[in-house]
């Protein structure tokens, strides 16, 4: 049986649904069954959400912590990928610069 991977947006949606169900007093096993996931997966997602850093939003004079949702997670992953590409490009350019400087020193 193939493992199913859920996108961060799907996980965030399912966790919001599970929060509503748990407020109604539904058992964890019933919540996991309703969401179509195992109890262990549900537990792992909840732990990951608790461990995930919250983003700070400033509203007026107060600081409010809001959880990171799936769209923000996807955006962060895209930015991390772009950041790694830019770092590689910078490293290549710096190496090329050093080579050019060395060749200039040999000539002069």
Residue 28 has pLDDT above 80, yes or no: yes
- Mean per-residue pLDDT over the chain, rounded: 84
- In this prediction, residue 62 has a pLDDT band, given cuts at 50, 70 and 90, of very low
- Distance, in Å, from the CA atom of 31 to the CA atom of 24, rounded to the nearest integer, reads 11
* Residue 57, beta-bridge partner list: 64
What's residue 66's pLDDT?
61
Composition of the chain by helix, strand, coil, percent to 5: 70, 10, 20
CB 10 within 8 A of CB 70: yes
Contact 15, 8 (CB under 8 A): no
pLDDT tens for 88-100 read 999 999 999 999 9
What pLDDT is recorded for position 6? 85
Residue ranges per domain, the chain? Answer: 1-51, 67-108
pLDDT at 56: 45
**For residue range 65-87, what is the model confidence (pLDDT) as tens digits?**
566 677 888 899 999 999 999 99
Helix (H) / strand (E) element for 83: namely: helix 70-107
């Amino acid at each position: 049986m193939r493992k199913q991977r859920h996108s961060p947006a799907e996980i965030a949606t399912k966790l919001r649904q599970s929060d509503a169900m748990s407020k109604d007093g539904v058992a964890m096993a019933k919540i996991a069954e309703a969401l179509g996931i195992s109890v262990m997966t549900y537990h792992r997602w909840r732990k990951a959400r608790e461990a995930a850093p919250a983003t700070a939003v400033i509203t007026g004079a107060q600081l409010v912590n809001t959880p990171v949702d799936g769209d923000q997670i996807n955006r962060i992953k895209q930015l991390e990928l772009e950041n790694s590409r830019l770092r590689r490009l910078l490293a290549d350019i710096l190496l090329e610069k050093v080579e050019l400087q060395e060749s200039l020193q040999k000539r002069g």
